[in-house]
């Protein structure tokens, strides 16, 4: 039986940016971080939650365009020149890995899950585990399993 999170437990998270906001996800859930040289087909996909797929090392990766998915439809998302793709270890029913297009990837940090605070924003609440402070920055912890569906 799984035990509750102990106040002394630590989790390693990978931090990344989307526009002006900093996010994180469990580092153990991420298989790799890749540079994206041509994101045109992803950027023009009708559905940012299913923005197509790419092949990485012979494996299919279903892409979620997070900058567009997390932006109001009335606002235009400014694309950066060198986006990154977080490729997750999880796969869907078709054995395709999940991948998130993000702006910039930082480093891993060790945090205490019990330091999470409830989020105060209404957007993407189902996808957010909570907020915490890392190195003086406000960071939103995303629930990757919820985003993957």
Look at residue 9 in the predicted model and tell me its pLDDT.
85
62-115 pLDDT tens trace = 888 888 888 755 445 566 678 899 999 988 888 888 999 998 899 899 988 777
Confidence class for position 30, pLDDT limits 50, 70, 90: very high
Domain for residue 3, yes or no? no
Count up the domains in the chain and report the number: 1
Domain for residue 66, yes or no? yes
Q: Which domain holds residue 124?
A: 11-148
Domain for residue 26, yes or no? yes
For the sheet with 21-26, list strands across it: 104-111, 11-18, 21-26, 137-142, 128-134
104-136 pLDDT tens trace = 899 899 988 777 777 665 554 677 888 888 888
Q: Tell me the C-alpha distance between 57 and 128, whole Å.
A: 30
Domain for residue 24, yes or no? yes
Domain for residue 141, yes or no? yes
Domain for residue 4, yes or no? no
């Amino acid at each position: 039986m799984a035990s509750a999170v102990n106040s002394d437990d630590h989790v390693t998270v990978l931090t990344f940016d989307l526009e002006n906001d900093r996010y994180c996800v469990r580092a153990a859930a991420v298989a790799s971080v890749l540079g994206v040289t041509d994101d045109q087909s992803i950027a023009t996909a009708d559905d940012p939650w299913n923005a197509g797929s790419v092949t990485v090392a012979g494996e299919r990766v279903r892409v979620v365009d997070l900058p567009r998915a997390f932006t109001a439809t009335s606002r235009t998302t400014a694309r950066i020149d060198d986006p990154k793709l977080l490729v997750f270890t999880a796969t869907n029913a078709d054995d395709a890995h999940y991948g998130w297009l993000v702006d910039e990837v930082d480093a891993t940090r060790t945090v205490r899950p019990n330091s999470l605070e409830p989020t105060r924003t209404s957007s993407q609440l189902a996808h957010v585990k909570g907020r915490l402070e890392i190195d003086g920055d406000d960071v939103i912890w995303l629930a990757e399993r919820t985003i993957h569906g």
